[in-house]
Copies of this chain bind each other. A is one copy, B any other.
Amino acid sequence: MSPSPNAPTPVAIPEPTLKRLPYYYKFIQGQREARRDFVSCTTLAEALGLNPIQVRKDLQATGAVGRPKVGYHVETTLDAIEECLGYHNTQDIFLVGAGHLGQALLAYPGFAEIGFNLVAAFDADPAKVGREVAGKPILEASRLSDLVRRMHIQIAILAVPAAAAQMVTDTLVRAGIRAIWNFTPTRLAVPREVLVQDENLLASLSVLSKQLENSRVKSHKESIHGKPEEL
């Protein structure tokens, strides 16, 4: 399994593909429960509203291999996706900021299923410290740095107020964090070796609303010019 020194680097899988894989995974799991042994790109694509060719390319990226006229073997393909997304190797993560959103994340049971173990939250508010949410303790913010270091935590969820975002980030970075899942609407300044995944909810909502506006204009124009809808 260990690649030879100059093995062709297992080409990084594009982010859009990574984001789609969980959907495939879920659907294929459903097929397994339905006692199906194989699933084709066509089926997947139809169920998920995607392009079959895209599905095929995505699955290829995971290393899954299909059989013409039959499709992909359910078990093998599930394994390939799990392997690809790292659902196996479980990993401890911390949450910083136990406000409404933070507590919702604390209580969310889904992380465990994909190999993450959210072990504790940290907050600066003494009123919250000491409480538990879904069995996970909320600890004093001052202990964050030390625990990240000692427990070799690599990923942290950042759900603090925007004003504190950069400061907390600096603390995390100094403590040796490797990746930050950022729920604040702030661009974090981090050293190049630290990864940040932004989850800017306001931005997403803005996008949706803008696209809605666009589609309104478009369909209005279409109705004026009599352009028919295509199938």
Interface residues of A (CB under 8 A from B): 5, 9, 12-13, 15, 18-23, 26, 47-50, 84-87, 91, 99-101, 103-105, 107-108, 110-111, 113-116, 154-155, 178-179, 181, 185-187, 189, 192-193, 195, 197, 199-215, 217-219, 221, 224-225, 229
Contacts and interface: CB of A to CB of B under 8 A. Distances in A.
B193 A219 contact: yes
Given A26-B185, A103-B104, A208 B192 contact: no
B195 A208 contact: yes
Chain A contact residues, majority secondary structure: helix
Given A18-B206, A86-B206, A208-B195, A185 B110 contact: yes
Contacts of A208: 155, 179, 181, 195, 197
Contact of A18 (B210, B218, B224): B210
Given A108-B101, A195-B215, A212-B179, A204 B12 contact: no
Interface centre among A9, A116, A202, A206 (most CB of B within 10 A): A206
A214 to B, nearest CB: 5
Nearest to A215: B195
A209 B179 contact: yes
Given A114-B202, A195-B208, A195-B212, 13 more contacts: A12-B214, A18-B206, A18-B210, A19-B207, A23-B185, A23-B203, A26-B185, A49-B187, A85-B206, A85-B209, A99-B104, A178-B215, A181-B205
B22 A200 contact: yes
A219 B195 CA distance: 13
Given A178-B212, A210-B13, A203 B22 contact: yes
A181 B210 CA distance: 13
B187 A23 contact: yes
Contacts of A221: 9
Given A19-B204, A197-B207, A206-B114, A212 B155 contact: yes
